[in-house]
């Protein structure tokens, strides 16, 4: 019932950006080059925070906008990216999503990622598998050479530009090709459904990957930091996520690069 209510509200939040031209919104600059936020990011987040508080009044929140960054704590914590893919939203790419995860005692228990443009709803409850629109999904069980590799890079994290592009080239040479979709949460969910064999990005925030991390784990894949260590939900991480064989092969490629 709780999870059904969460899904209902995430879909409503998706409806707030679908059929919306970002040109109708104010666009503001955040810290760093090419780092934007719109009124819609804030509106969607305010809506979700209000609705989630009605469902779990004692929950903490870790959310991208408006500096709602409470600690995960020992109870429930919602980890929310109101629009993942804000630049895509501004440029009408129709490849953005709402990402909402629920952690209990610091561990993910529920995750939902909704792309309102394609109406793809990815969900996972701990121990109960991963789903897209109600159908079970699984990570790829094949290697890189039989898969697409995806990567992300943001201009405002440009310190590691050479490194991520060197790695992307390396993945390109060992896979069927590379993609860069502009929404890390969608690309991570595409790992869970087997569309992407691997996804890599240096320096993501917990709201980018929290919900998708459970979806990937429940789809039989691996999501770790880039060096193979466990991810954190309360601080930024560089992420390597894939089906188990792609993940192992990519980790080896990464190690050979640095
Ligand atoms: C960004 C997107 C993008 C990724 C960036 C993220 P935002 O999130 O996920 O794909 O490359 O690192 O910050 O700002 O659009 O929510
Ligand atoms: Ca952002
Ligand atoms: Ca994001
Ligand atoms: Ca965002």
Most informative mutation of 35, 113, 151, 208 for ligand 1 (most atoms within 8 A of CB): 208
Report whether residue 154 contacts ligand 1, using a CB cutoff of 6 Å: yes
Count Cβ atoms below 10 Å from residue 239 Cβ, excluding itself. 23
Are 110 and 125 a contacting pair, CB within 8 Å? yes
Are 63 and 82 a contacting pair, CB within 8 Å? yes
Taking the C-alpha atoms of residue 203 and residue 190, their distance in angstroms, rounded to an integer, is 19
CATH of segment(s) 2-136: 3.30.540.10
At 185, phi and psi to the nearest 5? Answer: -65, -40
Taking the C-alpha atoms of residue 45 and residue 49, their distance in angstroms, rounded to an integer, is 6
Query: How many Å lie between the centroid of ligand 3 and the Cα of residue 143?
Result: 28
Taking the C-alpha atoms of residue 130 and residue 117, their distance in angstroms, rounded to an integer, is 20
Count Cβ atoms below 10 Å from residue 134 Cβ, excluding itself. 7
- Residue-range domain boundaries for the chain: 2-136, 144-257
Integer CA distances (angstroms), 216 to 31, 60, 128, in order: 30, 24, 12
Taking the C-alpha atoms of residue 53 and residue 148, their distance in angstroms, rounded to an integer, is 39
Fill in the DSSP letter of residue 3. Answer: H
Beta-carbon contacts of 27 under 8 Å, excluding residues fewer than 6 positions away, are 36, 37, 38, 90
Six-digit token string for 160: 């590691």
Report whether residue 41 contacts ligand 1, using a CB cutoff of 6 Å: no
Please identify, by atom number, the ligand 1 atom nearest to the C-alpha of residue 85: 15
Residues near ion ligand 3 (Cβ under 5 Å): 81, 84, 208
Maximum Cα–Cα distance across the chain: 50
Taking the C-alpha atoms of residue 67 and residue 81, their distance in angstroms, rounded to an integer, is 12
Query: How many Å lie between the centroid of ligand 1 and the Cα of residue 181?
Result: 10
Report whether residue 111 contacts ligand 1, using a CB cutoff of 6 Å: no
**What local confidence, expressed as pLDDT, does residue 234 receive?**
94
Are 192 and 217 a contacting pair, CB within 8 Å? no
Strand partners, 29: 36
Triad 188, 193, 196: Cα angle to 5°: 55
Are 215 and 185 a contacting pair, CB within 8 Å? no
Please identify, by atom number, the ligand 1 atom nearest to the C-alpha of residue 185: 9
Going by their DSSP bridges, the two strands 36-38 and 68-69 should be labelled as unpaired
Out of 1.10.3720.10, 3.40.50.2300, 3.40.190.80, 3.40.630.40, the CATH code matching 144-257 is 3.40.190.80
The dihedral formed by the CA atoms of 127, 51, 38 and 77, expressed in degrees to the nearest 10: -40
User: How does pLDDT run along the chain (258 residues), one tens digit per residue?
Assistant: 999 999 999 999 999 999 887 777 888 898 888 889 999 999 999 999 999 999 999 999 999 997 777 888 889 999 999 999 999 999 999 999 999 999 999 999 999 999 999 999 999 999 999 999 999 999 999 999 999 999 999 988 767 899 999 999 999 999 999 999 999 999 999 999 999 999 999 999 999 999 999 999 999 999 999 999 999 999 999 999 999 999 999 999 999 999
Report whether residue 17 contacts ligand 1, using a CB cutoff of 6 Å: no
């Amino acid at each position: 019932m709780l999870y059904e209510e969460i899904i209902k509200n995430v879909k409503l939040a998706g409806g707030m950006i679908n059929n919306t031209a970002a040109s109708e919104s104010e666009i503001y600059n955040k810290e760093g080059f090419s780092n934007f936020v719109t009124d819609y990011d804030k509106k969607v987040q305010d809506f979700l925070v209000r609705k989630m508080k009605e469902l779990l009044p004692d929950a903490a929140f870790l959310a991208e906008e408006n500096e709602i960054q409470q600690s995960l704590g020992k109870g429930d914590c919602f980890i929310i990216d109101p629009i993942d893919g804000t630049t895509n939203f501004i440029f009408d790419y129709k490849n953005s999503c709402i990402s909402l995860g629920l952690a209990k005692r610091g561990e993910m228990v529920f995750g939902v990622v909704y792309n309102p443009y394609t109406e793809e709803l990815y969900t996972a409850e701990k121990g109960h598998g991963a789903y897209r629109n109600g159908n079970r999904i699984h990570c790829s069980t094949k290697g890189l050479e039989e898969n697409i590799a995806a990567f992300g890079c943001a201009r405002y994290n440009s310190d590691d530009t050479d490194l991520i592009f060197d790695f992307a080239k390396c993945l390109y040479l060992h896979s069927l090709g590379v993609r860069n979709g502009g929404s890390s949460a969608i690309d991570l969910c595409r790992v869970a459904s087997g569309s992407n064999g691997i996804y890599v990005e240096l320096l993501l925030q917990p709201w980018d990957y929290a919900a998708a991390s459970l979806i990937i784990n429940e789809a039989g894949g691996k999501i770790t930091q880039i060096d193979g260590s466990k991810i954190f939900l309360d601080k930024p991480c560089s992420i390597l996520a894939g089906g188990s064989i792609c993940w192992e092969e990519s980790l080896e490629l990464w190690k050979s690069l640095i």
